[in-house]
Amino acid sequence: MTESVSGPVVVLVDDDHDYLETAAELIRPSEYAIHTATSIKEALDYVHALAGPAVLFTDYTMKPYNGIANGLELMNYVYRNTRFPVECVLVTGHKDHALFVQALDLGGRYFVKEATAESEMNLGELYIAEIKAACTALNKRIQAMGQKLDPLTGALDRSSAHDRWVQEWNRMSRHRTRTTCIFMDVNDLKKINDNHGHKAGDLMLTTIANAIKHHIRALDFVYRHGGDEFVAILPETTHADGNHIVQRLTQYLKNTPVEVASGVFETFSISCGVAVLESGALSKPGPEAHNSEEQLYALALHDLTALINEADKLMYVAKKEYKAMPWQVLWKKLAEAVKRRRDREF
C-alpha cells in the first residue's frame, strides 16, 4: 500500500453500497478522513456542512435529486455552491471520452474505478494515488488564488478581495474594460435572529452567500463587506448585466424557502445597488509618482471605495423601497376595501 498521508476530508459518493464500503475500507489505512454518501441528497447534506477544503469522488450514474441528475451535475453544483474549496473527481466503471472532457471542463478530474482492478490492493493504491493528485491540485488552486475566506459564509474576506480587485484594476487599465459592482444588504437579519436565534441568522447569511456565488461567473468574486453586507465585483459587465443578475438572484431567494427551525421555513431577501466603473474613470498616477506598487495599490483601492460608495447609495434607495412595501400593500388593501364599500352603498 502507498505511504499513508493526511489531508483534506475525502467524500465518496456512490449508490452501490457494497462498492462504496469496499472503496472506503481500502482508503482508510491511508489516514485520510473518509465519509461516504449513498445518494446525491446525502452528499449535499455533507458538503453543505463542510468546515474546510475537501476532495469529493462521485459516481456518474446516480438517482436524480432536486434537479441534479448525475455525478457531473453534482460536481457542477458543488463547485458553485460550497463555502470552501472542493476538488471533485468523477468516477465511472468504464472509459468514456465525452464524460472525461465534461469533467475537465468543469475543472474537475476523472477516475476509472475498474481500470486496474485485478486485485483490491491495486484498486486501493489507485484510489490513494488519485486522492494525492486531487489534494495537490486543491492546494495549488488555493495557493494560486491566495485567498482567505470568511469563516462563516465562505465568501472572500476583505483583504483577499482587495488583492483580487487590484489585479482587476490593473487589467482594466491595460485593456480599457469596465467593471460592475453590486452592493448587497441582507433584509431582516435582526428579525430572523430575534425569532429563531443566531444559528438561524448564520444560516441566512450562508444561504445568501452561496446563492450569490451560484449566480455569478467564475471570473467574478464576492466578499463579505460587513456583518450583513456583501459586495460582488463583475469584470467586463454592463449595468444591465448587473441588474439582470440582481433580478435572477432576488427571484431565486424569493422562491427558495429555507428551514430555519424544525418545521419552520423562511424566505430570505436582499436589497441591492448596482454601479459601474469605466476604465476612463480610473485614477491615474500624478507626474511626481513613480508607479510604485504601493502607489498603484492605493489608487486601486481609492477607485474601489468610490465604486462601492456609489453602489451603496443605490442600495439604500432599494432598502427604503423594501421597508415601504408592507405599508404600500396595506394602503392598497385599505383603498380597495373603501372602494368595495362605496360600490355596495351605491
Q: What are phi and psi of 281, to 5 degrees?
A: -95, 5
Is residue 110 over pLDDT 80? no
Confidence of residue 6 (pLDDT cuts 50, 70, 90): very low
SS3 221: strand
CATH 3.40.50.2300 corresponds to the domain 9-145: yes
| Cell of residue 90, nine digits | 468523477
Q: What is the mean pLDDT of the chain?
A: 82
Q: In the predicted model, what is the mean pLDDT of residues 69-80?
A: 86
CB-count exposure of residue 272 (10 Å: 0-12, 13-18, 19+) = buried
**CATH number, domain 158-332, options 3.30.450.40, 3.40.50.300, 3.30.70.270, 3.40.190.10:** 3.30.70.270
Q: What pLDDT digit, counting tens, does each position of 284-338 carry?
A: 876 655 567 788 889 999 999 999 999 999 999 999 888 876 555 455 555 666 6
Q: In the predicted model, what is the mean pLDDT of residues 161-173?
A: 89
Report whether 21 contacts 66 (CB < 8 A).
Answer: no
Q: What pLDDT digit, counting tens, does each position of 115-153 carry?
A: 444 445 477 778 888 888 888 877 776 665 556 788 888
Closest by CA to 16, choosing from 68, 58, 45, is 58
Domain ranges of the chain: 9-145, 158-332
